[in-house]
Amino acid sequence: MLNKINISPDRQKLIVYLVLTCVTFAVFLQLNQSDFINLDDNIYVIQNSHIQSGITLEGILWAFSTNYAEFWHPLTWLSLMLDYQLYGLNPGGYHLTNLILHILSTLLLFWLFNRMTGEIWKSAFVATLFALHPLHVESVAWIAERKDVLSAFFWMLTLCLYVYYTEKTVLKRYLLVLFSFVCALMSKSIVITLPVIMILLDYWPLKRFELKRGNLVLWQLQEKILFFILSAVFSVVTLFAKYKPSVKYITFPLSARMTNASVSFVTSLEKTFWPHDIAVFYPFHAQIQAWEVIGASLLIILMSAAVIATVKRLPYLFVGWLWYAITLLPVIGIIQVGYFAMANRYHYLPSIGIAIMLAWGIPSLIKDEEIRNKLLFPAAMVFLTIMSVLTWQQCGYWKNSIELFTHTMQVTKNNYKAYSQLGYAYGATGKYQQTIDNFSEAIRLKPDDVMAYSGRGIAYIYLGQYQSAIDDFNKAIGLEPDYTDAYNYRGKAYNDLGKYQQAIEDYTNAIRLKSDYADAYVGRGAVYRELGKIVLCCQDEKKACELGYCGQFKKSKENGYCR
């Protein structure tokens, strides 16, 4: 369209880069005022002493050696350490880093498709939809999902470097692609499908298959073998990190996971075009209506058959559909990674495939060039403007945990997780009766919700209802015998009731299960002090002090203890 008013291609690209940056920044800017949320942000930042040590040699070694939080993603940990050095515990800084990474990924995505196709405005549409889709707010707004935006940045960079390599297939460029891919894998293993995406791009739009002679499979295998080996290795590492035999983990039957996968696949596709009822957690429902499964399966089969049938004439539909399906497949829920049915963050990279289908597919349906020029640009602007407004609205729900999970309850049904997290949020504000009410509702919906029993028990402690607290911790421990927090807080309840021996046993069990559990050392030290066992008290207080809790012991130092 801008060609008609004599704007050079270079100027057009510059306009796209500037508009993408400014609009994306403006739509997401309100996140700068958002707080941490109580779902994983505590694990990743607020209560993570390694992150709060900043970039140190010890921290770097920890990042590369730990599978803490059930992932091995050292670059994600290092990025959060750097943020802590820059911003401390100011959540606005972490949100800003996420937003910058999201914008950089968007700009790289535009460069990628424009470089491959020379289609400035189609490439701009793909990048803009990626930047401004409301389902992507979760990846950008959730500080604990730094791994999403960081891995996406390296995903885009890897593909850009790959295109650069295909223009001149020399070793130096190949190694750059390989290095960037390793960085992506060390940010989040979800990028394991990237080698397959490279093959798709070789087919279209790079058209490298047409330029090669001989055995195409052997050529692809030789070129991509190191990438596939890395993907396999990181897949094994991820499964190993997720597998914890000491934790009681209820798995859903394979049949339930398969039926959920087909419905979730189509639901994600539906929300791409009609982003409604967006929640941070969608409960897994083992019982899904047969018509839903049949309808979803038929749609997947029909769509797949259609793109295969038109692959020669409309290769972009084939590539876009496979991009969506292949990148979504590892996280669709066939391999269980949680108790949720689907997750918005898993739409982040797959959505690019649907954007490709729209950007190149819709113009191919309109044969008349004049009608195409008059209709498509304003239609795309209206569509993207609607997406921008919905994204801005969605960002507002991430203001804090109470706002987020209240909204989640409003747009989902029987969401035990929303009630449970809302219970924790009210507990943090001292509203303990509301805390108990929300945890009780979570338990009603999911009677084996260990965290809800533990959270309600903590609230009972603050209200001085120690026996009710102990009953809840007993239930939590019965469901998960190695649940450290339940032992720790039951120890607190016993201590407040004056049952010191039971308190010591519980604190000791918590320490046995988690040797660096500073709070348990603090609690057990306090019990020993009450019993006059000063040597044991000092040992625990010194250990807790080594773990960063020195400020807890002012009273004992004033009394001459533990100097």
| pLDDT of 4 | 53
pLDDT score, position 112:
98
Model confidence at 250, in pLDDT bands (50, 70, 90)? low
**With bands split at pLDDT 50, 70 and 90, how would you rate the model's confidence at 334?**
confident
CATH number of 430-508: 1.25.40.10
- DSSP H/E element including 529: helix 518-530
Which pLDDT belongs to residue 257? 92
Q: What is the pLDDT of residue 241?
A: 72
Looking at residue 368, what is its pLDDT?
86
DSSP class of residue 340? B
Is it true that the peptide bond before 74 is cis, omega within 30 degrees of 0?
A: no
Predicted confidence band at 552 (pLDDT cuts at 50, 70, 90)?
low
Residue 13: predicted pLDDT: 97
Q: What is the mean pLDDT of the chain?
A: 93
Print burial letters for 154-188: b (CB count within 10 Å at least 16), e (below 16): bbbbbbbbbbebbeeeeeebeebbbebbbbbbbbb
SS (H, E, C) 385-410: HHHHHHHHHHHHCCCCHHHHHHHHHH
- Mean pLDDT over 234-255 rounds to 71
Burial class from Cβ neighbours inside 10 Å (0-12, 13-18, 19+) for residue 213 reads exposed
pLDDT of residue 556: 47
pLDDT at 210: 86
Q: What is the pLDDT of residues 457-488, one digit of tens each?
A: 999 999 999 999 999 999 999 999 999 999 99
In the chain, % of residues over pLDDT 70: 95
Q: How confident is the model at residue 372 (pLDDT cuts 50, 70, 90)?
A: confident
Q: What is the pLDDT of residue 247?
A: 43
Rg (CA), the chain: 26
Q: Which of 69-78, 136-145, 543-552 has the lowest mean pLDDT?
A: 543-552
pLDDT value of position 245: 42
Please check the confidence at residue 497 and state whether its pLDDT lies above 70.
Answer: yes
Helix-, strand-, coil-residue percentages of the chain, each rounded to 5: 75, 0, 25
Please compute the mean of the pLDDT values over residues 522-550 and round it to a whole number.
89
pLDDT at 559: 46
Q: Per-residue pLDDT for 547 more than 90? A: no
**pLDDT tens, residue by residue, 39-92:** 999 999 998 989 999 999 999 999 999 998 888 999 999 999 999 999 999 999
Pick from 240-244, 304-308, 455-459: least confident: 240-244
| 3-class secondary structure, 371 | helix
Per-residue pLDDT averaged across 489-501, rounded?
96
CA 179 – CA 156 distance, rounded (Å): 13
Residue 562 has pLDDT above 70, yes or no: no
Q: Which amino acid is at 184?
A: A
Q: Give the model's confidence band at 375: pLDDT under 50 very low, under 70 low, under 90 confident, else very high.
A: very high
Instruction: List the chain domain ranges.
Output: 8-240+253-396, 430-508, 515-563
pLDDT tens digits, 382-428: 999 999 999 999 999 999 999 999 999 999 999 999 999 999 999 99
CA 209 to chain centre: 35
pLDDT for the residue numbered 244: 54
pLDDT-derived band at 105, boundaries 50, 70, 90: very high
Q: What is the C-alpha to C-alpha distance for residues 394 and 136, in angstroms, rounded to an integer?
A: 10
Spell out the residues 6+ positions from residue 348 whose beta carbon is closer than 8 angstroms to its own: 135, 136, 139, 148, 152
Instruction: Label residue 553 by pLDDT band (50, 70, 90).
Output: low
- Whether 561 has a pLDDT exceeding 70, the answer reads no
- pLDDT for 7: 86
Examine the pLDDT at 249 and tell me if it is beyond 80. Answer: no
